[in-house]
A = this chain, B = another copy of it.
Amino acid sequence: MRILFINPNTSAVFTERIGTVLSGYALPSTEVVALNPASGPRSIESVYDELLSAPGTLETILENPGFDAYVIACYSDHPTVYAAREILEQPVLGIAEASMLAACMLGHRFSVVTTNDSWGPLLRDAVQHYGLTDRCASIRTTGAPVLALETAEAETRKLILDAARKAIADDGADVICLGCAGMAGLDKQLEVELGVPVIDGVVAALKLLEGLVGYGVRTSKRCAYGRPGRKGLVNLPAVFATPYAD
């Protein structure tokens, strides 16, 4: 099977890292492709950034049909995953959603450890959108900017470790979710240091989608994710008209 991972920001460092990390986990029969859009912000740290990155991300999906499954590889996955499900029949996962659902199978409550503080209210909202408020022990932020993860120096890793330790000791987390695609590859080392499962949503999305594709199930087109009705588009690339239903 073939799975497309789209890194919605334009950091090629993150895109490449995603591909590298996944190569260690994909089934022999799975081909993983990792792409990022041609336009958009270098990192996503606000709803404003999300909305600027969304058209490029959706365009990347539309220009790459025919994969067996799609991943939005940014922890701010929520509105873009929703839109991708509307325009696709194949399974789609975001890495926030994937990490949280995987965590739910390994412990009773998870905490998300992420970067700058504005993610606090955004991720609380995302957890609520996914209906998982009762399973979320806390959202912990390190205060470090996303792009510090391009180099992932020891100091950045230490901030993540400290936040995770507080989540476990003070908030009652059984499992830690890494709340940024830029943290891909840090999971196993942190797991050893923390003594609890640490979930990288990038890997979780791969393994969950291999399972869904292997089961042969696809996105429901019934209600929430029905294909959008045809309508005129003004001053937008023609590719954006392709998903509309007649």
A interface residue numbers (CB < 8 A to B): 10, 25, 27, 38-43, 45-52, 54-56, 58, 79-80, 82-83, 86-87, 91, 93, 97, 101-102, 104-109, 116-118, 120-122, 125, 128-135, 145, 147, 168, 172-175, 188, 195-197, 199, 203-204, 207-208, 210-212, 214-220, 222-226, 228-229, 231-236, 240, 243
Contacts and interface: CB of A to CB of B under 8 A. Distances in A.
Given A38-B235, A229-B45, A207 B196 contact: no
A6 to B, nearest CB: 14
Given A121-B223, A204-B215, 12 more contacts: A39-B234, A40-B233, A43-B231, A45-B228, A47-B82, A47-B83, A48-B83, A102-B212, A108-B223, A130-B135, A197-B217, A197-B219
Contacts of A102: 211-212, 215, 217
A204 B135 CA distance: 21
Contacts of A225: 107-108, 174
